[in-house]
Amino acid sequence: MRIVLILAALFIGVRSSSVAISSMPPAMPAKMIALSFDDAPRGPGAFLTVNQRNALLIAGLKQARVDQVAFFVNPGRIDRGDGDAERIDRYVMAGHVVADHSYSHLRLSKTSAQTYLADIDKAEAWLKGRPGYRPWFRFPALDEGGPDKVKRDAVRAGLRARHLRNGFVTVDGSDWYLEEQSIAAKKAGKPVDMAALRTLYVETMVQSANFSDALMRRTLGRSPVHMLLLHETDLAALFMPDLIEALRKDGWGIVTADRAYADPIYDAVPEIAWANGTLAEQLAWQNHITGPRWYPRNDIRVAKALFTERVIHATPAPVPASPATAVPIVTPAT
């Protein structure tokens, strides 16, 4: 009888141990990233109508099991009666959130602080009170005033007074430029290799995420929760499940925008000579981190050469090897 009791106790102990282990929450990935989409609502792209893009992007995010992304909205692009507002609402009904990207997509380096803040107020008037609203502001073109510290600080103070947080990004692969090149190729009647475009899009975004993560680890000594800058483009709608799958295969965990902005790194106020670019770039500059701080494919000539060679299968112009001659991709003001 004693042997039976001992065996029973051992069996119960094993079962209890296995239950305890199996009920433990899964370990968080070493790299985490949230997704955000600027310039909503955008006009027609190269391949889809605006309604098709809206529906496909919502479906793609759901298929990829992404619970929440952030759409940074330009209310000045919304026209009455054309369905723009309804498409924004559909993103929110799908579980996503909306935030401020200015009313008119102005660039701070080319605008007075007073005009810029008034434009933000116009956007807030449209956004506040809407379902899914978050008090985040993202600078169009990531332009925080460039070398003008007086203007930069005036807008920073204006954001604080409005209880708006800087909607920083840490990862940028200039996805909008691939969209622009696709539109130009279609208009010119050039054949677009969609499989190659998908590969280039996904590869570029994953590479950019890893570049920024390595830069942040050198700067902070840790990997923060990253925020990926994308745009509401046809390419995003067409390739979102592929991008999410590739990120996960590369070890990235996809988290919500709310989770990303809970990381204290987004409270940073970088003090640098030229206020522009991703938070990863700005903090690396502030902390005098050596080595490259600029993802190579954010050089317009590198991006164009890759698109030309791999997507439309033409001979690209040669790209100089020296990073000192890099030509940054600058988001258009309109």
Q: Are 182 and 47 in contact (CB under 8 A)?
A: yes
How far, in Å, are 2, 3, 19, 268 from residue 6 at the CA level? 6, 5, 20, 59
C-alpha–C-alpha distance, residues 232 and 72, integer Å: 9
Closest to 201 (Cα-Cα) out of 249, 253, 243:
243
301 alpha carbon, distance to own chain's centre: 22
C-alpha–C-alpha distance, residues 205 and 225, integer Å: 16
pLDDT for res 15: 33
- pLDDT tens digit at each of 334 positions of the chain: 433 333 333 333 433 333 333 344 556 679 999 999 999 999 999 999 999 999 999 999 999 999 999 999 999 999 877 899 999 999 999 999 999 999 999 999 999 999 999 999 999 999 999 999 999 999 999 999 999 999 999 999 999 999 999 999 999 999 999 999 999 999 999 999 999 999 999 999 999 999 999 999 999 999 999 999 999 999 999 999 999 999 999 999 999 999 999 999 999 999 999 999 999 999 999 999 999 999 999 999 999 999 999 999 999 888 776 544 444 544 433 3
C-alpha–C-alpha distance, residues 313 and 55, integer Å: 31
C-alpha–C-alpha distance, residues 306 and 304, integer Å: 5
- Bridge partners, residue 171, by sequence: 228
Domains of the chain, by residue range, sit at 31-320
Q: What DSSP character marks residue 147? A: T
pLDDT for res 9: 39
pLDDT, tens only, 116-136 = 999 999 999 999 999 999 999
**31-320 has CATH 3.40.50.720 classification:** no
pTM attached to this predicted model: 0.89
pLDDT for res 126: 97
pLDDT for res 1: 40
C-alpha–C-alpha distance, residues 209 and 32, integer Å: 10
pLDDT for res 7: 34
pLDDT for res 27: 65
pLDDT for res 132: 98
pLDDT for res 122: 98
Place of tokens 């809407």: 130
pLDDT for res 178: 98
